[in-house]
Structure formats: structure tokens, C-alpha cells
Amino acid sequence: MIFDPRGWCALVLSLFAATASAAEGMWTLDNLPLAQLKAKYGFEPDAKWVDHVMKASVRLADGCSGSFVSKDGLVLTNAHCVLSCVQDLSGKKDWVNDGFVARKREEEVACPTMELNRLEQITDVTDQIRAATAGKQGEDYVDAKQAAQAKLESDCTGKDAAHTRCDVVELYDGGKFDLYRYHRFQDVRLVFWPEYRAAFFGGDPDNFSFPRYNLDMGMLRAYENGKPAKVKDFFPLNPAGAKPGELTMVTGHPGSTDRQLTMAQLEGLRDYRLIDMALYMAERRAMLAQYSRIGAEAARQAQTDLTFTANSLKVYRGQLEALHDPAVFARKQQDEQALRAAAASDAPWEAVAQAERVRRNHYIRYMMLERRQAFYSDEFRIARELVRHADEMAKPNASRLPEYQDSALPRIEQRVMSKAPIYPEYEKAKLTWSLTKLREAVGPDDPLVMLVLGKESPAQLAAELVDHSELADLSVRKKLWNGGAAAIAASKDPFIELARAVDAPSRAVRKTMEADVDGPEERAAEEIAKVRFDKYGTSVYPDATFTLRLSYGEVKGWDEDGHEVAPYTQMEGAFARQTGSDPFLLPKSWNAAKDKLDLSTPFDFVTTNDIIGGNSGSPVINRDAQIVGLAFDGNQHSFGGAYWFDERLNRCVAVHPAAIAEALSKIYDAGALLKEMEGR
Amino acid sequence: MIFDPRGWCALVLSLFAATASAAEGMWTLDNLPLAQLKAKYGFEPDAKWVDHVMKASVRLADGCSGSFVSKDGLVLTNAHCVLSCVQDLSGKKDWVNDGFVARKREEEVACPTMELNRLEQITDVTDQIRAATAGKQGEDYVDAKQAAQAKLESDCTGKDAAHTRCDVVELYDGGKFDLYRYHRFQDVRLVFWPEYRAAFFGGDPDNFSFPRYNLDMGMLRAYENGKPAKVKDFFPLNPAGAKPGELTMVTGHPGSTDRQLTMAQLEGLRDYRLIDMALYMAERRAMLAQYSRIGAEAARQAQTDLTFTANSLKVYRGQLEALHDPAVFARKQQDEQALRAAAASDAPWEAVAQAERVRRNHYIRYMMLERRQAFYSDEFRIARELVRHADEMAKPNASRLPEYQDSALPRIEQRVMSKAPIYPEYEKAKLTWSLTKLREAVGPDDPLVMLVLGKESPAQLAAELVDHSELADLSVRKKLWNGGAAAIAASKDPFIELARAVDAPSRAVRKTMEADVDGPEERAAEEIAKVRFDKYGTSVYPDATFTLRLSYGEVKGWDEDGHEVAPYTQMEGAFARQTGSDPFLLPKSWNAAKDKLDLSTPFDFVTTNDIIGGNSGSPVINRDAQIVGLAFDGNQHSFGGAYWFDERLNRCVAVHPAAIAEALSKIYDAGALLKEMEGR
């Protein structure tokens, strides 16, 4: 799954790409590669087309993409993008495994923490940021930039934070700053989710591979004022799909790419960061898998976390392997040498190398504390958000941590006030494990471990926290949210106390990372960007930033060690692949409907579109802005896509619209939804 | 714990070292660094001293060292070296956590799979091996060498395999072949084991660190003809210990070092082998830890595996980090360049690089199949040993796999016929996990996965295997052992069937590794060894081979980033370090005895002796051949010891004899054992 796990994605760095190869590129909608589209496919989109496509595309705030597919706010995305919602809602009924179809509007159920963003406008604010930061250095520079951004965002949002979200997006390493204004939807309801077995057929073994047989499809509906949102721009479904060689475009929100990192940064990733992340995820997967073996209920509790943990592990391992490919490294080295030769000095590269040395010294503590690796718990997350909310709201908007500024606040509140259930034993298992990781990472004599564990073992502390906390109670959270600093200071809730206790060291290490690593690296990247501009010109795209991008390509298989991989699979393949046991077992509904299905229906397919984590749920559209696919994954060669795009091998994997139509009409008795999507 | 997990140690390669620095070196007993000992410490051991020391030292066949400490066959080793035995015996009573003291001979209990080897004689057989292999190449060479070795070993063992074990040991990359004749003790009884909390105080967090507070001490007794073995050579305990700067010698069995690997080999270790092993162990640790959370009984079942898995993970991570030290790599690169410059051609280095490319292609399958990563189960291990035993016994001794040749056979039989209990649910958990690893490693469409899993999931197959197997029954095993090929062929036991089914692919990948990786690398190493001899002369030691070595050094702390680490801890430190919860909780017996103890008694200490995994349980002796310490670990700088010895930082960690005396007399009411050790 090319999900962008924002909570985990420590690898976001905005640098930009030079000399894009054929289908390479994640283009901002105000700078499409018009010449290439015309030359290669004879396609000349006009401004109206671009505006339409922009407004029909949506972003799922938790790390996915999607699109409107009807005038009544129906949204098509991936099943794995709505899984968290389904799990949150599966209190009494096991919708995760039984599936969910709202055949009438009144059966649609609100997702506790889902938020959709529709991009409405892009405004260049480069001059304003430049003016605010002119002549500033070091922390002053960072502060000035953050303040300017916060003001721009706040002015743009106005008093309508409930419906408007504005983000300053830094592109091309600070070569350009754009203000993205979104319409925000926070009442988002679940409409369709196939059974887990259909969505994740082949499970972790098949993840990031092809041939593939997944109905990785989910549907939501945006509501406003208690009614389905009326939208002007949407993509109708075209079950005919796209033919081999036909132009396909993906409009979605790639999370992050690292295609312009310096050698020092790539070495850091290869030599410890990705190893560390892979080890963390490997252990977490094993812990969750073993917890799941307790029984069906435990398995249900851990199912979503397990799915995403396994996915993350595969990504980190794949990226690690990609970085161990001598060819990649040699190419990167060459690129850097060419740039250095063109530069007036090596200073920016040396600054990055120095920042990387600093990062190494603080990395573990940063991951443990600020990225919460030490506190793998929903209640701790909520406690931290409550504690920080109280602290940050005492400051003027521009001085707050970015995630507590006005434009971001509704998202945090939604998460804190989520109705998603909390499972005490599950919380204990996760915390016991992650507190043990903390002690392992910094050593038992570290003051931080003394502070957190005191005289207790991880298991004892986990049990005490969970047994004595009242944060599972929404009304308690509400009081703490509304009560501000006084309520937080007075709270005896052990999770609040813990979050308070580790807040200072956590903020400290974040500050160090921002001031001494990210700051210097951003400024160095700006300088390198200038060298690159001078050398390669401007027909380039910026690294991914979880903002709307268009990539173009076509339906096309690839050559795997001399064996041609065909671009389409058919539904019959899924039945042939069944073994009778998970994850190679189709749901009952599929086996029951088998005789009714046209088994030659195309199921999944691959294209040359350049996508990455965050693009999950992106529409694959044709030049008529019709949906001809639903992107959900990359093939096994896509891991290297974080660092470079290899058009020969890297493929986007998508659900074919014919399979969507066949499944909705013949398996799920959801003809009405299909009709709505087809605009009939 | 510097335990040598032979079952896991895939990193054994026999190359040899040049230009040993001060205390560096693991010297064979027929080639001690007499000049250095005399020059630095004025010590001149004679032949009698050496013979005495050789015969007082013992090897624990499962991967540890030890020594005789009384004329009645009493053996001192580490607690962690007898833990498996204690766990095997802990059917009804929880000796693991309650401790075990045999205050009378009749209370000593036989360890199911323990074997001791006492080195009796070293004979140079280089000429015989040379004659047998002269002019041979490729597989012929390997076969001829194996046959010659088998014959030498078999002739040496004679008809007394029950009491004699003979191994041809390849030293200096085939520069020298020695025949080691051991006296074998297979009736080994448990005498003393402190509580787990005393042996592993500080647990995994403190493992490989210092200051340290572990009574990592265990005692066994060798029996012959149902009576305590009478031994002439033993080391008496000297509770005074050794003073700072005083010469200390460690006689033990370092398992393997990789100090002479080429860059291609080191890169393979750094870039995928150690990553793969660390990920495997990380997942296994998390799986075992979560299994342990089921309850006290489950925790007891998994305790030993968890301890050793955590230890292995720490070793692999530490080695990985060591290899990412640019200084180590630069030094290794320099060494290689100097050697290459001195060599007639680059051919041997290129041969190694080519072999490493082959290894990479077969590595995963080799680890999964032949190293049993896919089948983490006692019953599978037993099944494989039964299946192979039947196959191999049909061949002449010299043609068998080395581990089924006459000299090794008693060990296999002892393991197959072990009375150690098998826990069905635990077996299922381990197998479910490891079968999942198999599918992940080679992919769900791999013929091997089809063969093993068929239409089943890992959990289903694991349950079927364990529920329907009768291998937990010793009489069934006995029939299959004695019944040979016919009994194995007729068996319907699902584990036997599985072991049979995967035997051909498993042997095939082993053969490829031996013929195309190990073979060429060994021959290349011989050539490189010649270059090294020519350049550096002969006053060098061979890489470790799990055979008896002596290393010399002295009691000495080290400078840790400007802070001096003192060489001794005292018993009071253990009490101060107690938190009230595991692993920082001393046993009840210690807290009860606290007032009686002299808390200023030295507890653990560090020396500059060059040791590594396999040295666990080694005696630390003085020039009078008295025990002045019991080696059990290295400090955090010892991981790099696999690849180089850094005398500034690398330290051996040992239990002080005064702590042994204090604990035996005042905590464990085992004054008789102390008296026996002191030779009183």
C-alpha cells in the first residue's frame, strides 16, 4: 500500500528534481508539463480542465488521496485509506471482516477522525516570505519564516477554520512558496468498504507486488450541514478503463520523496535511519502478530495496526535495499559531483554533512520522544495533544508549534475527541513493548528512563497508566481540552502526568533537530537548488510535499529479468489464487457470486505513472477526466522511487474500473452506488 | 553474554591475523606468545604449565567454555551456559527462577544434552591433508579434504566414540591443520545455578555493558561410570583475585572471529547479512516477549530462548554498528590495499568478491532452509536430525555430512534423545512465526512455499504439525533413530514428512554454498594467507575456531569519552541498582542475606583479555593457574572484536572470585562447594 504514514514519515525533506526522464514527475497543478503532454500524447489541457481536475481531487488528511465521483459528494479512495475508520466503528459489528455497504444515505456512518481537503486555490506568496526572512539567520530565520507562514495561513483561513484550511507550501527548497487554500470537510461518512479479505487479498505477501488481485476500494461521502455535500467538480467512472499505451494521469497527494538528497543524507538513511526504522517496525509487527494470536477479538483490535506496520516495514526494507544498489549510489554520486563542480563552493554540501552528524547524535532520542516511538499508545497520543494544546493556546498563533496553529487546530481536536474505542489490554501490550524499546535505545541509566520508568518495569508502568487513566472517557478529554492550562496542571491522570513529564525533553530535542539539522539543511538545500536551476533550467518538478500533483504515464507492463509482466490481471486470477486460508482467501460474498461474475473482467493493472506513498486512493483519469483506475500501490521496483524514478521498472498498481463496476453490481448489491459513480 | 550460538553462527570463517597489538590475540596452546609474556609480564610458562592449563580447561559442546575446579570433576562455567539445562529440567519445579544448589552429590541432576570436551592432545596433520588434496580442484578438492579429515578423525577416535572426540581443525586458512583429541564427558550433572535474577541481574538492558553486577556463574560435574570423574588437572579458586595491572590469562574457546575478511566479505556482512540477522532476531524477540505475556507458564517456556535471542540481536546490531564505523572500514581498506600491493595478483580478492556475489543469490534460501530459520521448532530440528541420520548412516563415514561422521554422532544422538520437554503451544507460536518468515523471504509463489504450505496458512500448518506429531514421545524418536532409512521412509509423522520434503532443496542450497562460496573463499584465503606470511612473518594467531585458546591481558578500566570507568564493581552496587522490578530485582535470597554480606566484596571486573562469543565461562587465571575470575561478557566496545581488537576500549567482563566465595558461603549455604573449589 502506498499509504503515507504521516505519523511515521521522518523522511520528509523538500528538495527538487532536475532533468526529469520520460514519465517521471509529480507536477504541481500550476506548472504542468504541457510541452511533454502535447509532444508525447497530443494532449493540451486548458485552464478549465486543470481547475476542474484540481477541484475533483481530494486529500484525506491522514495520508491518502481520493476524488469526488458524484455531484452528491461521493468520494472514491482505497479500502486501506478507510480501514482505520471502519475499525474505529467496529465496536459491536465486525465490519472490518464482514464489509460495509450503505445502500441508503441514512445508513452512511460518520468516521470519527476523517477529514477531507479539497484544493481550491494556489497563491504565490514567495515575496511575502522573502520579505519577512530577509537578512535573518539561524533560529531567527526559522522563527521569522514560521511567523510569516502562520500569519498568511491565519489570514487566509479567516474565521472559517471549520471549513477552510490554508497551508503555506514550500516548494523547490524554498525556491517558491505557495499558499494552498482548501475547503475542509470534517463530517465524512463511510459508504462502502469491502471485506478485509477482498481489500487485502494476498495480504502482506502480495503487498507491493504484481500480478495482483485487490479490490482496494473504499467510498466515503462528504457531508455539510448534515446533508451530502453538493460538489460541482467530480470524475465519473468509465468502466471501459484505459488501453495499453493510452495516456493516464494520476492526480493525488504524494507524501514525500527524497530525490535530491545529498550523499551525506543518503548515507545517513542507508547506514542507520532506515535500519533503525526497519528494526522498530519488524519488532512491532511481531509483537502485534503474536498479540493477535490471543484470539479473534485481539486479532480484530490489532488488525489495522498490523496491516500498516507490515506495510511500513516493507517500505523501509525496500528503501534500504534500494540504497544498497551500487548503481543508484553511483548515479547519485555522479549527480552530486556534477553539481559541486558547477557550484562556487562546497559549503552547502559541507553544511548538510555537518547537520547530518548532529542528527545522528540526537536521532534516537528524537524518534523515541518527539515521534513517540517510546509511547506506542492511543492514550499517550491523546495526552500529549491535550498537554500541548493547553501550552500552545496560551501563545499567539504565529508562535505556536505549526500543528497547533489555527489552521491545523480542527484536525487535532477531531483526533483528541475521536470516538474510536480504546482497548486496555491492547494498550498495555503496545506500551509495554514500546517502553522497553525506550530503555533499550537510551540505556537503563539514562535520566529520561529514570524519569519515565522510575522503579517500575515497562509492564508495570503500562498497566498502571492504562488501569488508572480516564482518558478513554470522552467527557474527561473534553474537560481537559476546554479547561486549558489550569485543567492540565491540575490533572492527576497518569497519562497526562507522563505527557507533562516528558514534554520538556521532547520539545528540547525537537528544537535541536529543527535548529541544528532541519534549518541548516533547508538553507543548504536552497543554495544547492540555485546551482541546480542555473545548470538544468526550470522545467522540473519539486519533491513531493503531500500536496496535489499530477503525474502522467500510460498502461504498460515491464520486463522482469527477461520475462514480460502483462499489465492487467483478471478476476478469474483471484479465484485461481485462493488457497483456502488467509491471506489467500476471498470473502464468502465473492465465492457465492462467482458464477454470476464475468471472470474475464480486468481486475488490477499497472501504469508508468510516477507515484509514491500518499498517492493511495488517487484517481487514474483519462484526458476526458473520467476515472479509468484507482491507484493503490507500487510494484516491487517502486521502493527506489523515494530516491529516483526508474521508468523501465517502477510501476503504479491500480484497480480497474471494470472490476469496481462488476463487484458493486454483482457482489455487493450496490448498483445504486455504481449508478451514482457513472453519473447515470 | 559472549555465548557462541553455534546454531546461528553463520559468520565463521577461518582467516588469520597479522601484526597483533599489545594484548590482542587468541593463541593456540602449542604456539603461545612466549616472548610477549616474558617481555611484558616476566612470565615464562613451561611445557608442564601449558599441559596442565590445557587439561584443566573444558569446552561445553553447545558453545561455551569452562574449567575443572576440583579433583572430583567439578566444573565452573557461566550461569548462562547452564541455563538451557536448567530450563530442560524445570518440568515441575521452577529452578530457572528459584535457583538450584546440590548440597550433596546425590542431588546433582543429569543435564539432558550437555557434553563436555577436554582437550588432551594436539597433533599436526598438515602433511596428511596436503597429500590427500594435492593437485585437486573444485568439488574434488572439498571432497578429498573432507574424506581425509574424516579418516583422521575416525582413526583417532577408534572404537571409543563415547569417550573420545577428534576434530581436524583448520588454522591460518589452511596454513596448518591440527588434529585435536578430546576426552568426552556426556554424563554431565547440574550442581549449581543461582536464580535467574542473580545470574541475569540487569537483564538485556545491562547485557554487554559495565559497570555490571552479575553472578553469571554455574557449576556442573562430569561423571564417568555413574561416579564423579576423577581429574588430575584443575584450577583452584583464589578468592583474592587479581590486582590492577596483574597478568591475567583466559583459557577458553572463542567461537569465531572475522578479523581477516576481505572488503567484499565485510561489505556483504554490513550491507545485508547482519541487517537480515538483526531483523530476524528483532522479530523473534518481540514474538517471544509477547508470547511470554500470556502468563507465568508461557514466560517460563520462552525464558531461555528470549534471553539468547535478545543477546544475539545485541551482538548483530553491535557488529553492524561497528562495521559502519568509518575508521574501522578505512583501516580494513588500508590493510587490504597493503596486502594487494604485496601480492602477485588480485586474483584471490576477485575470487572472494565473485563468491560473495554467489552468496548473495543463495543467502536467504540457505538461511531459511539449511539454517532452519523457516522452521523455528524443536520438533522440526529433531525430525531433520532423524531424517538425515537415516540417510547419512547408509554412507561410509568419510562421505557423510561432517556432523554425522562418527566423531560427531554421539552429540547428535544426545540432542535427538534429549528429555527436554516440548511445549505444544509454544512450538505452534514459534512455527507460525517462522513459517510466515519463509513466505515473506522467498515470496508466496515460490515452489518451496507451495511445497511447505500448500493450501494452508502458517498458523494452520503449525497447528497440524504439532497436534499430529508424536516426536514429543522419546520412544517414537528412539524407534526412528534405530530404525534407519526404512523407519524414516515409513513414518507418517508430519514433522518427519516435512523434514523429508525439504531435505533435497535444503541439501542443494548447502551444496551450492559449500562448492561456490565457502570453497572458493577458503582457497582464496589460503593464497592471501601466503601473502600475509611473506609480509608479516609468523608471530601471529589464527582466527577463532571454537578451539582452546589462551589470551593474556590485565585488570584495567578504560576511558569512556573522557570519563574513567573503574575496573571493579562491589556487591553493594547491585543492591543500590535494584528498582524493585525485573530485570533490576535481586532474588529473595540476596535481599534476605544482605546484612550478612560484606558489601564491599568485589563483584564483577574488567580486563584487557581478547575474548569473544564462545569464551563464556572461561576461567581467568593467574600465573599460578588459580582462578582469579570467570569471564562472562564483553563491554559495549567488544562488538567490533569480531573484526578487530581495540585494546583501548574492548574489555572482557568477569565475575570476581571473592563474589563467588561470598555468595556460595553466605547466600546459597553452599560452603562445601566453595571448600571443594578452594581445594580445602
Q: Where are the domains of chain B?
A: 27-115+186-258+543-678, 129-183, 265-342, 365-542
- Contacts with A592 (C-beta within 8 Å, 6 or more apart), sequence order: none
Give the pLDDT confidence score for residue A408 in this predicted structure: 85
Task: For residues A504-522, give the mean pLDDT.
Answer: 93
Q: From the CA of A556, how many Å to the nearest CA of chain B?
A: 23
Pick the closest to residue A591 from A604, A580, A582, A583 (CA basis). A580
Model confidence pLDDT, tens digit, residues A302-337 = 999 999 999 999 999 999 999 998 888 898 999 999
Average pLDDT, chain A: 92
Check A290 against B285: CB less than 8 A apart. no
Q: How far is Cα B672 from Cα B665, in angstroms, rounded to an integer?
A: 8
B427 close to A (CB below 8 A)? no
Give the pLDDT confidence score for residue B536 in this predicted structure: 73
B326 close to A (CB below 8 A)? no
Check B290 against A581: CB less than 8 A apart. no
Query: Residue A20's pLDDT band (boundaries 50, 70, 90)?
Result: very low
Which A residues in the span 17-36 are in contact with B, Cβ-Cβ below 8 Å? none
Query: Residue A538's pLDDT band (boundaries 50, 70, 90)?
Result: low
Task: For residues A250-261, give the mean pLDDT.
Answer: 92
Q: How far is Cα A89 from Cα B612, in angstroms, rounded to an integer?
A: 54
Q: What residue in B sits closest to A280 (Cα-Cα)?
A: B282
Among the ranges given (A260-274, A465-479, A508-522, A530-544), the one the predictor scored with the smallest mean pLDDT: A530-544
Model confidence pLDDT, tens digit, residues A106-145 = 999 999 889 999 999 999 999 999 899 888 877 788 889 8
Query: Residue A610's pLDDT band (boundaries 50, 70, 90)?
Result: very high
Give the pLDDT confidence score for residue A461 in this predicted structure: 97
Q: Is B396 exposed, middle or buried (0-12, 13-18, 19+ CB in 10 A)?
A: exposed
Give the pLDDT confidence score for residue A30 in this predicted structure: 92
Task: Show contacts of B673-678: CB within 8 Å, 24+ apart.
Answer: B673/B74, B673/B101, B673/B103, B673/B191, B673/B192, B673/B219, B674/B237, B676/B69, B676/B70, B676/B72, B676/B74, B677/B69, B677/B70, B677/B74, B677/B76, B677/B236, B677/B237, B677/B627, B678/B236, B678/B237, B678/B239
Q: How far is Cα B146 from Cα B144, in angstroms, rounded to an integer?
A: 5
Give the pLDDT confidence score for residue A12 in this predicted structure: 24
Single-letter amino acid, residue B487: A
Contact (CB, 8 A) for A283 and B285 = yes
Give the pLDDT confidence score for residue A62 in this predicted structure: 87
Residue A40 has pLDDT above 80, yes or no: yes
Check B580 against A282: CB less than 8 A apart. no
B329 close to A (CB below 8 A)? no
Q: How far is Cα B102 from Cα B190, in angstroms, rounded to an integer?
A: 8
Give the pLDDT confidence score for residue B11 in this predicted structure: 24
Model confidence pLDDT, tens digit, residues B443-497 = 999 999 999 999 999 999 999 999 999 999 999 999 999 999 999 999 999 999 9
Helix (H, G, I), strand (E, B) or coil at B77: strand
Helix (H, G, I), strand (E, B) or coil at A179: strand
Query: Residue A88's pLDDT band (boundaries 50, 70, 90)?
Result: confident
Question: How many inter-chain contacts (A to B, CB under 8 Å) are there?
Answer: 106
- Contacts with B304 (C-beta within 8 Å, 6 or more apart), sequence order: B83, B84, B87, B96
From the list B205, B294, B579, the residue facing A440 with the nearest CB is B205
Give the pLDDT confidence score for residue A58 in this predicted structure: 98
- C-alpha grid cell for residue A164? 477552510
CATH topology of domain B27-115+186-258+543-678: Thrombin, subunit H (2.40.10)
From the list A206, A457, A582, the residue facing B582 with the nearest CB is A457
Probe site for chain A from B208, B284, B290 (most A CB atoms < 10 A): B290
Check A582 against B283: CB less than 8 A apart. no
Q: Spell B319-331 as b/e; 16+ CB within 10 A means b.
A: bbbbbbeeebbee
Torsion, Cα B446 B449 B451 B454, to 10 degrees, reads: -110
Task: For residues A599-621, give the mean pLDDT.
Answer: 96
Q: From the CA of A583, how many Å to the nearest CA of chain B?
A: 8
Q: From the CA of B669, how many Å to the nearest CA of chain A?
A: 30
Give the pLDDT confidence score for residue B3 in this predicted structure: 63
In sequence order, what DSSP letters do the residues of A577-599 get, joined into one string? H--SSTTS---HHHHHHGGGS-T
A454 close to B (CB below 8 A)? yes
Check B584 against A283: CB less than 8 A apart. no
Check B286 against A291: CB less than 8 A apart. no
Give the pLDDT confidence score for residue A15 in this predicted structure: 28
Give the pLDDT confidence score for residue A411 in this predicted structure: 87
Give the pLDDT confidence score for residue A354 in this predicted structure: 97
Q: Cα-flanking dihedrals φ and ψ of residue A35, to 5°?
A: -60, -45
Pick the closest to residue A69 from A61, A57, A80, A86 (CA basis). A57
Check A286 against B291: CB less than 8 A apart. no
Q: Is B294 exposed, middle or buried (0-12, 13-18, 19+ CB in 10 A)?
A: middle
Q: From the CA of B462, how many Å to the nearest CA of chain A?
A: 13
DSSP annotation of B247: E
Residues of chain B short of pLDDT 50, as ranges, are: 5-21
Give the pLDDT confidence score for residue A258 in this predicted structure: 87
Pick the closest to residue A50 from A36, A23, A31, A66 (CA basis). A31
Contact (CB, 8 A) for A385 and A411 = no
H-helix or E-strand spanning residue B51: helix B47-56
CA distance readout (Å), A79 to A67, A314, A636, A652, A668:
13, 19, 20, 17, 14
Q: Spell A203-240 as b/e; 16+ CB within 10 A means b.
A: bbbbbbbbbbbbbbbbbbbbbeeeebbebebbbbbbbe
Query: Residue A9's pLDDT band (boundaries 50, 70, 90)?
Result: very low
